[in-house]
Chain A
Amino acid sequence: GQNIDQPTEMTATEGAIVQINCTYQTSGFNGLFWYQQHAGEAPTFLSYNVLDGLEEKGRFSSFLSRSKGYSYLLLKELQMKDSASYLCAVRDEGQGSNYQLIWGAGTKLIIKP
């Protein structure tokens, strides 16, 4: 079966660092995406990993370990505007599909002053 797990909610302090974990179990794997979604708005793309390792993009970094079925999103120098839900999505080629993304339920990140 397919399963993507993320913590439901996390709280962090402005200026600090937070790591949001995602574990997945899919029959195939062809890439992992992280998206940010503010309340009432559409998801916006943050990062894409298909090979093991760390991808850095400004204040945001994403890590992937395919052997462990594990990824994390690292947010540095947190700002109040980073308060949002963070969605992990996996492209599961094992479903006979190269196009369908399987989505986690998202992690609601609350930033406190």
Chain B
Amino acid sequence: DTGVSQDPRHKITKRGQNVTFRCDPISEHNRLYWYRQTLGQGPEFLTYFQNEAQLEKSRLLSDRFSAERPKGSFSTLEIQRTEQGDSAMYLCASSRFGQGNEQYFGPGTRLTVT
């Protein structure tokens, strides 16, 4: 068990560019979550997968954001036409099936849009 990993750890991009982040969950976890966090705030839910199925997507998420988990293992989060307001820490978490099972977080990808 090597924990949840995310790549890259930091990304600086210019406004209008597209970016893609990767998350590798803990291998036996079938649930995967994406969150966004800004300074002084709690994580904001973006989307959730159970195996390869995307079961929930935040109503706050614009259509510039898309996520995939094609084989039920790693996941990617893409942001198209980035805006300065997209600057944040993007966190990925995974968990086992079960309502009480805690989510294990990756180290996050810090995005800066200039």
A→B interface (CB under 8 Å):
4, 30-31, 33, 41-45, 48, 50, 87, 89, 91, 97-106
Residue in A closest to B6 when the chains form the complex, CB atoms:
A42
Cβ of B2 within 8 Å of any chain A Cβ, yes or no, is no
Q: Which residues of B contact A105 (CB under 8 A)?
A: 40-42
Interface size bracket, B side:
20 to 34
CA distance in complex: A105, B42 (Å): 4
CA distance in complex: A41, B37 (Å): 11
Contact A50 B43, beta carbon cutoff 8 Å: no
B→A interface (CB under 8 Å):
31, 33, 40-45, 48, 50, 55-56, 91, 99-100, 102-108
Q: How far is the CB of B25 from chain A (nearest CB, A)?
A: 13
Contact A43 B100, beta carbon cutoff 8 Å: no
What are the 4 A-B residue pairs with the smallest beta carbon separation, nearest first?
A103-B42, A42-B105, A45-B102, A103-B43
CA distance in complex: A4, B44 (Å): 13
Residue in B closest to A89 when the chains form the complex, CB atoms:
B42
Contact B41 A99, beta carbon cutoff 8 Å: no
Q: How far is the CB of A40 from chain B (nearest CB, A)?
A: 9
Q: How far is the CB of B68 from chain A (nearest CB, A)?
A: 18
Tell which of B55, B105, B107 touches A99, judged by Cβ atoms closer than 8 Å. B55
Tell which of B41, B99, B107 touches A106, judged by Cβ atoms closer than 8 Å. B41
Residue of B33, B44, B56 ringed by the most chain A CB atoms within 10 A:
B56
Q: List 9 A-B contacts (CB under 8 A).
A: A4-B42, A30-B99, A42-B106, A42-B108, A43-B91, A50-B100, A100-B45, A103-B43, A105-B41
